[in-house]
Structure 1
Amino acid sequence: MSVAARALDRTPAPAIFLASGLSLYLGSALAVGLFAVASATEVGWARMAVAAVVLLLIVRPWRLRWTLAELIGSAVFGLVLGGMNLLFYVAIDYLPLGVAVAIEFTGPVVVAAWGSGSRRSALALVLAVLGVAAISLTGVDWSGDAIAAIGLLAALAAGASWAVYMVLGRRIAAQRDGVASLSIGMAAAALGYAPLGIGGVSAMTANWTLILAVIGVGILSSVLPYTLDQVALTRLSASTFALLTALLPATATLIGLVVLGQLPSLGELAGLLAISVAVALATRTAAPPSKEGPPSELPPG
């Protein structure tokens, strides 16, 4: 066992899970800094490309036997994942990081409510809707132009994509190892969305600072969180997983405040609280995802 593996083995699972969330949203904050030289979709595509290269080198999926159905399924899974992340990057180009993350969490809340039908899930859905309404009506500046509307719609679309991603992820998990599927999926996403992002390559590689920032976004937002989650999720109970997942919108808000200087309004804080409670209620109805499957229940960012 390596030194890193031994260190992770001694680290409490909740700490690893929260470290994954911090990495995810630090990567998002770093991506926001790149929006000054490239568009949100170009930065999002660069993240996919970096993650695909790293995962392919680590996993080397070409050594495995694949059926055509498995390859197609993994590719579709990756395209949905890529689309979700592109939409999220568009959202954080127009909205504060914490707000975009909170709104996006409505996707899994709807999936949980649809699949459960319990009073707990119904309450979660109501709270999620109220949270989005609070953010939309009191926490977002609608004056002047359609910027806020673009961000809100992109965040809601990302949440809808996350819901589809969850359903596909569970099906893929039953067919093939999650890491291998993820590597194929990220490669498919990098190729499929290349027309939307490849135009920004020259701007994002103009100097070593930008190159390192792009690599950092790919590793912090994709590779490192998934690696940490594989360790943490096997050691978390359903109740602990629900609580920690509910803290992720607050984590994103904290990163937005400290790194990007995004001070939330009272309306945003009220909406964040409502959505966080909704996430806790919805997530509590199911066990945490297993290590064998793709990170279908884990947040994009």
Structure 2
Amino acid sequence: MPAPGLVMGGVVGLQCGAALTTRMYPLVGPAGVVTLRLCIAAVVLITVWRPGMRWDRATLRVAAAAGTLLAVHHLSYYEAVDRLPLGAATTMEFLGPFAIALFASRRATDLLWACLAAAGVVLLSHSGVSLNATGLAFATLAGCCWGGYILVAKRLAERVPDGRGLALAVSWGALLSLPYGIAQAGTRLLAPGTLVLAAAVAILSSILPYTAQLEALRRLPPRTFGILTSLEPAVGALIGLLFIGQHLTTAQWAGVLAVALASIGATRTPGRAPRPTTTRTPGNAQDHLRTGTSSE
């Protein structure tokens, strides 16, 4: 699958999982949702990839940093979704990837697409009603963590050529979130109905999207990945409309169109030709990330 398709598949999975978690909030709360999501995802990923224990310290540090950012992102994002409409929470979360796309830009056209995406975010977030200030703060923190995760996950993808690095990162994030989930939900975390919902959320929001996006990060530079994920506010608003009944205003639909056009433009704008290098190892992930070409 082309790298943009991997990114979009991850975006859709994340937002579907976020919509499904609204049914779990009355049962275990946001922290309980995060704990179950990460723990189930960690068990599945470890079973599939069998990461083992022999890792150099540098790789362990990168995996721990990615897992920490994931845990804090999940905790803050679900606290935001508990207080804000899904589209608004995702719009604020987008500030992190948008900042990466903007500050890593090297071409005038990249700035154009980033600015168009920003205009779409502004329109999409215009709901005509006041939004919960605490929810906005949590969503902004989630955006900062997601932006940091993009950069750290890129390094993890360079160091580990398969899903073992992701398994380590998610496992570390699960350990960090466990005390918060137990404190909020206690034994309710083990209720059979809750575990079934949590398994679906883990597959939709963690296992499938992070595997797909980690593979995409091997092929795309962070700035392109950041602009592509600008579709998250649009997807979040549409998922909210279809599954939660959150209707969009005319201004919000205009924002959806603007963000979609920005993402399409970012993927279709031809990139700068890579500079020739004197040495190159065939199949080296860093070469593919540097030139923005596919590893296939």
Conserved 8 A contact 2:69-2:149: yes
Task: List gaps (5 residues or longer) in structure 1.
Answer: 1-10, 294-301
Match of 2:25 among 21, 25, 35: 35
- Code of the residue aligned with 2:189 in structure 1: it is M
- Residue 124 of structure 2 is aligned to residue 139 of structure 1: no
- Residue 75 of structure 2 is aligned to residue 83 of structure 1: no
Match of 1:73 among 62, 68, 71: 62
- Residue 83 of structure 2 is aligned to residue 94 of structure 1: yes
Which residue number corresponds to residue 159 of structure 1?
Answer: 143
Which residue number corresponds to residue 45 of structure 1?
Answer: 35
- Residue 76 (structure 1) shift: 1.3
- Residue 57 of structure 2 is aligned to residue 57 of structure 1: no
Q: 1:108 to 1:18 in 2, by over 3 A?
A: closer
Counterparts of 1:194 and 1:83, CA distance in 2: 12
1:77-118 Cα shifts (integer Å, max 9, x gaps)? 111122112222122112222232233223222112211143
Q: 1:45 to 1:74 in 2, by over 3 A?
A: same
Aligned pairs, number: 271
Deviates more, 1:47-56 or 1:94-103: 94-103
Secondary structure in 2 matching 1:39: helix
Instruction: Compute the TM-score of the two structures, normalised by the length of structure 1.
Output: 0.75
Secondary structure in 2 matching 1:33: coil
- Residue 267 (structure 1) shift: 4.0
Counterparts of 2:231 and 2:225, CA distance in 1: 10
Counterparts of 2:103 and 2:173, CA distance in 1: 28
Secondary structure in 1 matching 2:248: coil
- Code of the residue aligned with 1:139 in structure 2: it is S
Counterparts of 2:59 and 2:229, CA distance in 1: 30
- Residue 189 (structure 1) shift: 0.8
Which residue number corresponds to residue 8 of structure 1?
Answer: none
Counterparts of 2:162 and 2:179, CA distance in 1: 27
Task: List gaps (5 residues or longer) in structure 2.
Answer: 272-282, 287-296
Match of 1:175 among 144, 155, 159: 159
Q: Superposition RMSD on alpha carbons, in Å?
A: 3.5
Deviates more, 1:269-278 or 1:43-52: 269-278
Secondary structure in 1 matching 2:89: helix
Secondary structure in 2 matching 1:116: coil
Counterparts of 1:224 and 1:169, CA distance in 2: 15
Which residue number corresponds to residue 279 of structure 2?
Answer: none
Match of 2:96 among 90, 107, 114: 107
Deviates more, 1:220-229 or 1:80-89: 220-229
Which residue number corresponds to residue 256 of structure 1?
Answer: 240
Secondary structure in 1 matching 2:160: coil
Counterparts of 1:187 and 1:55, CA distance in 2: 9
- Residue 232 (structure 1) shift: 8.1
Counterparts of 2:11 and 2:97, CA distance in 1: 17
- Residue 277 (structure 1) shift: 4.0
Match of 2:181 among 178, 185, 197: 197
- Code of the residue aligned with 2:177 in structure 1: it is Y
- Any residues of structure 2 matched to 1:213-252 within 5 Å, and which? 213-227=197-211, 245=229, 247-252=231-236
Conserved 8 A contact 2:154-2:218: no
- Residue 132 of structure 2 is aligned to residue 148 of structure 1: yes
- Residue 198 of structure 2 is aligned to residue 184 of structure 1: no
Instruction: Compute the TM-score of the two structures, normalised by the length of structure 2.
Output: 0.76
Conserved 8 A contact 2:228-2:266: no
Counterparts of 1:230 and 1:135, CA distance in 2: 27
- Code of the residue aligned with 1:214 in structure 2: it is A
Percent identity between the aligned chains?
36
Conserved 8 A contact 2:14-2:209: yes
Secondary structure in 1 matching 2:23: helix
